[in-house]
Amino acid sequence: MLLQNRITIVHGGSGAVGSAVARAYAREGAEVHLTGRTRATLEDVAHSIRDEGGIAHVAVLDAVDRDATRLLLPRRPSYADVANAAVFAASDWATAMTATEINLTGGAVVD
């Protein structure tokens, strides 16, 4: 398995793209941490990963909340952080810029 003993944080892990990424990483052996704003849908994805033998955890948070994101950082150095705020048709400029910020900096935490 390519990602055995690796940790992956998938922001937006309950959406179509995020859940597909999370499932793919889990199939390759990664321990997956799903984040998002809706616990029920995150738990559904985590349950499906666990049903396939994977390891999945859920954290309800907003990817732009730096303090909450910092708490998810693994204690081990080997991890991937997937920012996934896909917005294909934003209703306004502010929404488009928020999605862009999350995709570019959502997982970045600088101490």
Confidence (pLDDT) at 94: 77
Residue 1 included in any domain = no
What is the pLDDT, as a whole number, of residue 109?
Answer: 46
Considering the domain boundaries, does residue 17 fall inside one?
Answer: yes
Residue 2 lies in a domain: no
Q: Which two tokens stand for residue 74?
A: 């693994």
Q: What is the pLDDT along the chain (111 residues), one digit of tens a residue?
A: 788 888 888 888 898 888 999 999 999 999 999 988 899 999 999 999 999 999 999 999 877 777 777 777 655 555 565 656 555 555 777 776 676 666 665 554 444
pLDDT at 111: 40
> pLDDT value at position 83?
57
Query: CA–CA separation, 35 vs 15, rounded Å?
Result: 10
d(CA 71, CA 20): 24
Question: Does 34 map to a domain?
Answer: yes
Number of domains in the chain: 1
CATH no. for residue 87? Answer: 3.40.50.720
Contacts of 13 (CB under 8 A, 6+ apart): 19, 21, 22, 32, 33, 34, 35, 36, 42, 45, 84
- In terms of residue numbers, what domain contains 62? 7-105
| pLDDT for the residue numbered 23 | 95
Asked if the structure places residue 52 within a domain, the reply is yes
State the distance between the two ends of the chain, measured CA to CA, in whole angstroms: 32
